[in-house]
Structure 1
Amino acid sequence: MSTAIERDWTDRPDTAQQWVHRAREVAEVLAADAVERDRLGATPHREVQLLKDSGLGTLLGPREHGGGGQSWETAYRVTREVAAGDGSLGQLLGYHYLWAWAVRLVGTPEQIAAVEELYTAGNLFFGGAVNPRDGDLVITDEGDEIAFNGTKSFSTGSKVSDLTVLEGVLRGTDQHVFAIVESAQDGIVFGDDWDNLGQRLTESGSVEIRDVRVPWSGAAGYVDKVFRPLVYNTLNVPTIQLVFANFYLGIAHGALQAGVSYTTRRTRPWPYGGDNKDTATEEFHVLDTYGDLQAKLWAAEALIDRAGAELSEILHTERESVTEQQRGEVAVRIAAAKQRIADTGLEIANRIFEVTGARATANEVGLDLYWRNLRTHTLHDPVPYKRAEVGRYALVGELPQPTWYT
């Protein structure tokens, strides 16, 4: 991958279509040795540098600071393209987009301007230590500063990030506080314990936060130690849930294309079926399977694209104008999209073996990578609860209420 990574990426795309093409170029580079890198499990410093060098890291950043100035609709399409080449890097990029936007979700106008200039002009990459299933980090008010302390089981991006989003609760209150800090500091200790079935290169292991201090001016959305909530603040969960759906879609697309490539090049026709064909691509069961899987993937993509267009419009509108009804309706659509692509992606990653053949299970082929990646992350939060959210809306018109997972 070294030659491809060292190519000149200095020219920057201008239109959404050009950015998607750039993402496809990056995906081709990543796909070339994705299986080998997954087996090795090394921290993907060079791969994240590729995302930065290609300009994808600043896709959502303001143009005046050298960013792409693109919409979330484009960011979602870019995420899925990268995930088709490498699911782990697709996840890292999608999470980065969410954390880069976090200041817009909850920050003051002054904080938004400062953070967007910082990360865009500096081409900085985000990680986050915000796992809701853990106890919150404890925040102590120390006058002009706040201090974060505690641990998180998961911290996606960890060692490959320049900036980390922290979240905790102010001691003695129910006030949640987000802040952005430098990742490389003594007070942030990464556990180096991410050793899971899939998404192996996301650096999603544990982290310990030891007395990380932030001035009150860096507490996102707080003015004079008081937070003024908006419905817009709660869009963090629908936004990240649709990130999930898009990199699931990318992984599923990569799986189907890998199956097609193997079937057309290497799968032998079955000579004992009574209707023998000269090539595997002429066999009815092969055509039937690929037709079924492609149709299901297109259907999931259409649903995801509809949700992406709807959410992108909301994310780029005036924050004060977003209503609970808008938020709830798009959350339902995203719940539907996520559960559909989770089911479809896992089916594709499993059934491609039926039309590639026994020799396709060789470790060097690496078709297992797609199923392992999807199986790992689709367990992030139970898909049946997403179906139930859609069911409540369909049956009684009930909208999902904002939580850390809805």
Structure 2
Amino acid sequence: MSQLVQTPPVPVLSDRAALAVADELARDFAAGAVRRDAERILPVAELDRLSASGLLAITVPAAHGGAEVSVPTVAEVFRLLSAADPNIGQIPQSHFVYVNQLRHQGRTDQQARLFAEVLAGRRFGNAQSEAGTRHAREFRTTLHPGGDGRWLLRGRKFYATGALLADWIPVVAHLGVDGPLHVAWVAREAPGVEVIDDWDGLGQRTTASGSVVLSDAAVTDDWITPYSATFEGPQTYGAFAQLLHAAIDAGIARAAVTEAAVFVRTKSRPHPDAGVERAADDPLVVRAFGEVELAVRAAEALLEAAARSIEAADANLTAGTAAAASLAVAAARAATARAALEASNRLFEVAGTRSAAAGLGLDRHWRNARTHTLHDAAAWKVQHLGRWAIDGTTPPNHGQL
């Protein structure tokens, strides 16, 4: 394991400051989003600015020197960044999830070491999902006893968003062949760790969500935290992870509406039958915008409500409050997915033929929405909501709700 390197800490941002910084960075990041998507330019400089700003440290507990901002603030930071460029929104999603995992399952000494890394501006990636397994919650990666108090990490991960541009990669693996799942924290440049930039999605093209190959990477007990134990009782770990995904989709939806409105005001021609001078005054265009705006506003409201539900559950964690948070997030996740797809598709309907020009990059909104909303099936969110509505059946206790 590589040695920790001391660097000056990043700013500790209050809720209000975090939102202001996110808004400022989002304005800058939006300027290059079309080019980055078209040429698949990874947002390396943008991620470095994000780290230096202190935004990636906003959930570090106050007891460890962090700001510990509210859950609604975190969701809004993600929404703002994702409206500018959802690739930049998605890359640190795993970072925040594993900061949260450390809060729930890390020992005090582990928290002290790794939270200090976050406060120094370093990033966590992820190596969780695996190809070829029966479903998304099955894993084959293992930690084998290596002697001398070491474990040897073996396996291959895919869809490892954030790993390529991370300093640390949390790896979900079985402790032993059939043991419980744990998280092994390995340095990005450690021997036996290879990160491959083989992501070729039609959308979210610059998230670098490639593969991680682990070939007997050595890990000691000090760098291993429990994972399965997270779900042995009531938890909001899964709801928090899903909330951030919902915020990304909400950002995509809002960006599609905003960019479509600019196009209609400045570049679209009205339909001759409308009898108006501007496309923006065409009653069919206005109605379509109203319908999409309604869907996006509803999704944004559900996102905020879900964030507050998680915060309420964290303050009084019971099976009931955890279930309420999961259901609130399920509603937000389903609504934001639908809104992102509807807004990014209908923007062409309202903007007209000229909007299909490839150089404009308006198609990136639909490609990003279509790709990111596949991350977790919205239909299952609706299924769990339906079971609750009919019979009061509580949702399952796992990391995808």
TM-score (norm 1): 0.89
State which of 318, 326, 329 in structure 2 corresponds to 1:334. 329
- Assess if the C-alpha contact under 8 Å between 1:193 and 1:206 holds in 2: yes
**Can you list the C-alpha shifts for 1:30-76, whole angstroms capped at 9, x where unaligned?**
11110111111133211211211222121223568764431222111
1:91 deviates by 0.8
2:141 alignment partner in structure 1: 137
Q: Does 1:396 align with 2:400?
A: no
Query: For residues 116 and 12 of structure 1, what CA distance do their matches in structure 2 show?
Result: 14
Percent identity (aligned) = 30
Point out the more displaced range, 145-154 or 243-252: 145-154
1:22 deviates by 1.4
Q: What residue identity is the alignment partner of 1:402?
A: N
1:239 alignment partner in structure 2: 240
1:72 alignment partner in structure 2: 71
1:352 alignment partner in structure 2: 347
In the TM superposition, 1:237-386 aligns within 5 A as 237-271=238-272, 273=273, 275-315=274-314, 317=315, 322-386=317-381
1:14 deviates by 4.7
State which of 196, 200, 203 in structure 2 corresponds to 1:195. 200
2:6 alignment partner in structure 1: none
- Note closer, same or farther for the CA distance 1:136–1:314 as it changes in structure 2 (3 Å cut): farther
1:214 deviates by 1.7
Query: For residues 354 and 227 of structure 1, what CA distance do their matches in structure 2 show?
Result: 49
- Note closer, same or farther for the CA distance 1:268–1:211 as it changes in structure 2 (3 Å cut): same
Count of matched residue pairs = 386
State which of 132, 150, 155 in structure 2 corresponds to 1:150. 155
Query: For residues 302 and 229 of structure 1, what CA distance do their matches in structure 2 show?
Result: 28
TM-score (norm 2): 0.90
State which of 183, 189, 202 in structure 2 corresponds to 1:184. 189
Q: What residue identity is the alignment partner of 2:252?
A: I
1:278 deviates by 1.1
1:93 deviates by 2.6
- Note closer, same or farther for the CA distance 1:231–1:113 as it changes in structure 2 (3 Å cut): farther
- Assess if the C-alpha contact under 8 Å between 1:108 and 1:221 holds in 2: no
Point out the more displaced range, 185-194 or 104-113: 104-113
RMSD of aligned residue pairs (Cα, Å): 2.2
1:41 alignment partner in structure 2: 40
Residue ranges of structure 1 left out of the alignment (5+ in a row): 1-9
2:4 alignment partner in structure 1: none
Residue ranges of structure 2 left out of the alignment (5+ in a row): 1-8, 131-135
- Note closer, same or farther for the CA distance 1:310–1:98 as it changes in structure 2 (3 Å cut): same
SS of match in other structure, 2:91 = helix
